[in-house]
Amino acid sequence: MKPVVQVAPRLAHRMAQMQPSAVREILKVAERPDVLSFAGGLPAPELFPVEAIAAAHAEVLAKDGAFALQYSTTEGYGPLREWISGHMRRQGIAASVNQILITSGSQQGIDLVARILLDPGDVVLVENPTYLAALQVFAAYEAKLVPVASDDDGMQMEGLEALIVAHRPKLIYLVSNFQNPKGTSLSLPRRQQLAALADRYGVVILEDDPYGDLIFRGERLPAVATLGSSNVLRISTFSKTLAPGLRIGWLSGDEALVRKVTIVKQAADLHTATLSQRATATLLRDFDLDGHLAKLRSVYGHRCDTMLAALRANMPAGTTWVEPGGGMFVWMQLPNGLDAEALFAAALAKHVAFVPGSAFFVDAVRRDFLRLNFSNRPPELIIEGMRRLGEVVHAAVASPPPPVVRRAETVPPFAQ
């Protein structure tokens, strides 16, 4: 037999920039049943309205089974878009049905917006740090990412105009409420400045807002999309309020731009799952969403407060963290510049896990931050987890572990 000569398949150029998500790799280890993980960005599963979702699916299949299992329009199921339009109106955001596109999770919204705007080498301005899976999308379109500094009031506006003038970005991406990973929100004056800049320079703002409904402290701020610019595209989702497995999100904004996004969605997946859309619309018809949101806010607020109290009780001096008013995450800075990646193995040895913060930075990667999720664990496990983590951090302060030397392929995609 002739020896088989194996020739490696030739991958697209963009794959050079694409790395496995550090968070997903970490989640694999953190998912071990013996590990008390605060790494995933997971909602509380015991609060999923399972029975109502099951009843809605049963009703849809019984009454409209053939339609629910058929192909459908790319724009999305009419009654669901109507419900979302009304829901947005109640939140002060005017969007007609024609300005709403149903997406397969809000993650697809990020991808589709990138697809209509970005050519290789185009610049996207992003908060730094920011949502890792958005960075992965922009990498897939071979965009050049330019970081914008952020503080406790979100993306800093000083310097943003200079960056816009210098780089002529096509897109500015930000998470306006209870950001992932930091838990911070963009202040009102900054929202107004941002909307004004979008108009002045004709740059599209992608306002990603999966967490706005999970507010448990403070005042709800107006969406950037309501502040007068037609260049703001907004995405949201039922992933954090109903259940992520439904994979129902939506995009809204200027009708002409939404139309462009609809065209690329046709090529991406034809449409979002018909059954899931119809079941979600049926659920929302009868479901007390406001009551459900009130429950989520109360449970998450309590879990967050439990975590903050446990951090105060267990962390050594010099450790700091953001106190969020909503969302699902606490962003913590280790004392003495300790390396969170180096701490990860020690934490696993104590059966506790987090996400090292380095994964969320675009450049000038900081090693001394970590992200903790509080929505997915009951208070008693949060207390136990923070006790274990406190021991790990105390031990590291006493005897700092050597920094992790990264193998080339584990360097986060934008760490230069």
Ligand X SMILES: Cc1ncc(COP(=O)(O)O)c(C=O)c1O
Kindly tell me the burial class for residue 293, based on how many C-beta atoms sit within 10 Å of its own C-beta (0-12, 13-18, 19 or more): middle
Q: Is 151 helix (H, G, I), strand (E, B) or coil?
A: strand
Could you say whether residue 75 binds ligand X (CB under 6 A)? Answer: no
Smallest gap from residue 135 Cβ to ligand X (A):
11
Q: Is 243 helix (H, G, I), strand (E, B) or coil?
A: coil
Give me 47's structure tokens: 């609060």
Smallest gap from residue 105 Cβ to ligand X (A):
3
Q: Which helix (H) or strand (E) covers residue 100, if one does? A: strand 100-104
Residue 247 or 315: the one with the smaller Cβ distance to ligand X is 247
Could you say whether residue 43 binds ligand X (CB under 6 A)? Answer: no
Residue 102 or 396: the one with the smaller Cβ distance to ligand X is 102
- C-alpha dist (Å) from residue 267 to 140, 251, 263, 295, 313: 16, 17, 7, 39, 53
Could you say whether residue 347 binds ligand X (CB under 6 A)? Answer: no
Sheet holding 355-356, edge to edge: 320-321, 329-333, 369-373, 355-356
For ligand X, the binding residue among 40, 154, 249, 324 (CB under 6 A) is: 249
Residue 169 or 210: the one with the smaller Cβ distance to ligand X is 210
Could you say whether residue 210 binds ligand X (CB under 6 A)? Answer: yes
Kindly indicate which of the ranges 100-108, 143-151, 189-197, 340-348 contains the residues binding ligand X, using the contact rule CB under 6 A. Answer: 100-108
Kindly indicate which of the ranges 193-201, 237-245, 263-271, 282-290 contains the residues binding ligand X, using the contact rule CB under 6 A. Answer: 237-245
- C-alpha dist (Å) from residue 328 to 39, 353, 372: 11, 16, 8
Residue 278 · residue 83 · CB < 8 Å: no
Residue 341 · residue 378 · CB < 8 Å: no
Residue 117 or 175: the one with the smaller Cβ distance to ligand X is 175
Could you say whether residue 131 binds ligand X (CB under 6 A)? Answer: yes
Could you say whether residue 176 binds ligand X (CB under 6 A)? Answer: no
- C-alpha dist (Å) from residue 179 to 35, 128, 130, 173: 26, 11, 8, 12
Could you say whether residue 326 binds ligand X (CB under 6 A)? Answer: no
Q: What residue number has its CB nearest to ligand X?
A: 105
Instruction: Give residues with Cβ within 8 angstroms of 331, minimum separation 6.
Output: 181, 182, 183, 184, 321, 322, 357, 369, 370, 371, 372
Could you say whether residue 37 binds ligand X (CB under 6 A)? Answer: no
Residue 181: cis peptide before it, omega within 30 degrees of 0 = yes
For ligand X, the binding residue among 19, 72, 99, 107 (CB under 6 A) is: 107
Closest-CA residue to 97 (of 107, 108, 86): 86
Could you say whether residue 241 binds ligand X (CB under 6 A)? Answer: no
Instruction: Give residues with Cβ within 8 angstroms of 202, minimum separation 6.
Output: 231
Residue 210 · residue 236 · CB < 8 Å: yes
CA dihedral 158, 162, 163, 167 (to 10 degrees): 170
Could you say whether residue 41 binds ligand X (CB under 6 A)? Answer: yes
Could you say whether residue 358 binds ligand X (CB under 6 A)? Answer: no
Could you say whether residue 105 binds ligand X (CB under 6 A)? Answer: yes
Kindly indicate which of the ranges 220-228, 236-244, 310-318, 383-391 contains the residues binding ligand X, using the contact rule CB under 6 A. Answer: 236-244
Kindly indicate which of the ranges 101-109, 120-128, 159-167, 316-324 contains the residues binding ligand X, using the contact rule CB under 6 A. Answer: 101-109
Smallest gap from residue 50 Cβ to ligand X (A):
18
For ligand X, the binding residue among 52, 117, 175, 310 (CB under 6 A) is: 175
For ligand X, the binding residue among 212, 244, 301, 390 (CB under 6 A) is: 244
Kindly indicate which of the ranges 30-38, 105-113, 266-274, 313-321 contains the residues binding ligand X, using the contact rule CB under 6 A. Answer: 105-113
For ligand X, the binding residue among 19, 106, 193, 272 (CB under 6 A) is: 106
Give me 100's structure tokens: 């709403």
Residue 181 or 413: the one with the smaller Cβ distance to ligand X is 181
| Size of the residue set binding ligand X (CB under 6 A) | 13
Smallest gap from residue 191 Cβ to ligand X (A):
17
Residue 395 · residue 336 · CB < 8 Å: no
* Interacting residues toward ligand X by CB under 6 A: 41, 105-107, 131, 175, 180, 208, 210, 237, 239, 244, 249
